[in-house]
Structure 1
Amino acid sequence: MTSASATYTVSGMTCGHCVGTVKSEVGKIAGVTAVDVDLATGKVTVTGDEPIGETLVREAVEEAGYELTAV
């Protein structure tokens, strides 16, 4: 089985609750198999069975209340 991952920068996360919220929302995207959030760097790595569209990730991050600032 192959997988694809992409790393994004998210702004506005300040605590563990923020991390959990982003992980939860991004994890709801169909095809996502793993979400790794690094609070210190603001990096969010999304892994899926196939590439996950940036638009879907952006929408999930915004739903969580944060902003995707870089890919």
Structure 2
Amino acid sequence: MKDAPMTLIYRVDGMSCEHCVVAVTGEVGDVAGVATVDVDLGAKLVRVSGAGIDDTAVVAAIDEAGYDAVPA
């Protein structure tokens, strides 16, 4: 049985430029189950969609990119 599609949203303060978008998208995109990553600089939100995504792994990936994430 496949995991159900899911979307997780995180508030990520400190993002302010295209470099931030590339860093976060690259790290989060490597997490198992992640299909898409959408970064909204204006709202300071990262929306992650896919199936079977591990919330802890996403937060760790955002941390690896240099930012702190909290569920929105």
Flag whether TM exceeds 0.5 (same fold): yes
Q: Deviations over 1:5-32 (max 9, x none)?
A: 1111111111011011000000000111
Gaps of 5+ in 1: none
Gaps of 5+ in 2: none
| Amino acid paired to 2:63 | E
Pairing 1:22–2:24 present: yes
Cα deviation for residue 43 of structure 1 reads 0.6
| Amino acid paired to 1:19 | V
Q: Is the 8 A contact 1:32 1:46 kept in 2?
A: yes
What residue in structure 2 maps to residue 48 of structure 1? 50
Q: TM-score, normalised by structure 1?
A: 0.88
**Runs of 4+ residues deviating >6 angstroms:** none
Distance 1:70 1:7 in 2: 6
| Amino acid paired to 2:43 | T
Aligned pair count?
70
Distance 2:13 2:19 in 1: 14
Name the SS of the counterpart of 2:26 in structure 1. Answer: helix
What residue in structure 1 maps to residue 59 of structure 2? 58
Distance 2:34 2:17 in 1: 23
Distance 1:4 1:70 in 2: 14
